[in-house]
């Protein structure tokens, strides 16, 4: 799961070169009030399941399913169209860039969260792939 999370974070870091935004993980221990006052993305691993395992000449290969949640947050005054444009030009392509098969993307409605004083979009995606252990030389 760490390798997959690191890959997702790296994909988003590459997007930061094109669009200015802050990037966090859900377990970074930074309170939301201390996160960026502008647009930012929070990546949250939700669960990781090992499915079927089968032998190969290099060891056991295991299929997996991983679920992630991506939260896009910005000031409450940010127009929905601006967030939607960012979401579909940065977040969705990043989800598809993960080195596994993205089998499902679910996008919740744009909303204003008055508790944290942010406009939010939340997406979740599921990816499936094969874990092949690296053979040490």
**pLDDT tens digits, one per residue of 44-93:** 999 988 888 888 887 788 888 889 999 999 999 999 898 888 888 888 88
Does residue 134 register a pLDDT over 80?
no
Looking at the 3D structure of the chain, how many domains does it have?
A: 1
What angle (nearest 5°) sits at the alpha carbon of residue 11, between those of residues 8 and 12? 90
Does residue 130 register a pLDDT over 60?
yes
Domain residues for 96?
A: 2-131
In a domain, 136, yes or no: no
pLDDT above 90 covers a percentage of the chain that reads 13
Q: Grade residue 5 by pLDDT with cuts at 50, 70 and 90.
A: confident
Does residue 41 register a pLDDT over 80?
yes
In a domain, 72, yes or no: yes
In a domain, 16, yes or no: yes
In a domain, 30, yes or no: yes
Q: What is the CATH number of the domain that holds 114?
A: 3.30.2000.10
In a domain, 119, yes or no: yes
pLDDT at residue number 77: 92
Does residue 137 register a pLDDT over 70?
no
pTM of the model: 0.81
Tokens of 72: 């896009």
pLDDT at residue number 119: 92
In a domain, 91, yes or no: yes
Radius of gyration for the alpha carbons in the chain, expressed in angstroms and rounded = 17
Return the higher-pLDDT residue of 70 and 37.
70
* Contact (Cβ atoms closer than 8 angstroms) between residue 131 and residue 61: yes
In a domain, 137, yes or no: no
**Across 18-42, average pLDDT:** 84
In order, the DSSP letters of the chain are -HHHHHHHHHHHHHHTTTS--EEEETTS---GGGS-SS-EEEEEEEEEEEEEEEEETTEEEEEEEEEEEEEEEEETTS-HHHHHHHIIIIIHHHHHTSSSEEEEEEEPPPEEETTTTEEEEEEEEEEEEEE-PPPP-
Block residue for tokens 């690296």:
134
Cβ neighbours around 96 below 10 Å, total = 13
In a domain, 117, yes or no: yes
pLDDT at residue number 30: 81
């Amino acid at each position: 799961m760490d390798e997959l999370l690191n890959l997702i974070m790296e994909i988003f870091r590459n997007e930061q070169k094109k669009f200015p935004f802050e990037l966090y993980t859900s377990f970074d221990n930074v309170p939301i009030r201390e996160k960026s006052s502008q647009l930012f993305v929070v990546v949250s691993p939700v669960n990781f399941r090992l499915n079927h395992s089968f032998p190969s000449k290099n060891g056991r290969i295991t299929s997996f399913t991983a679920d992630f949640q991506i939260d896009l947050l910005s000031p409450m005054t940010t127009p929905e169209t601006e967030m939607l444009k960012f979401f579909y030009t940065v977040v969705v392509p990043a989800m598809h860039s993960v080195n596994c098969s993205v089998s499902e993307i679910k996008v919740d409605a744009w909303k204003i969260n008055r508790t944290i004083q942010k406009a939010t979009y939340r997406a979740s995606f599921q990816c499936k792939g094969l874990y092949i252990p690296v053979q040490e030389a």
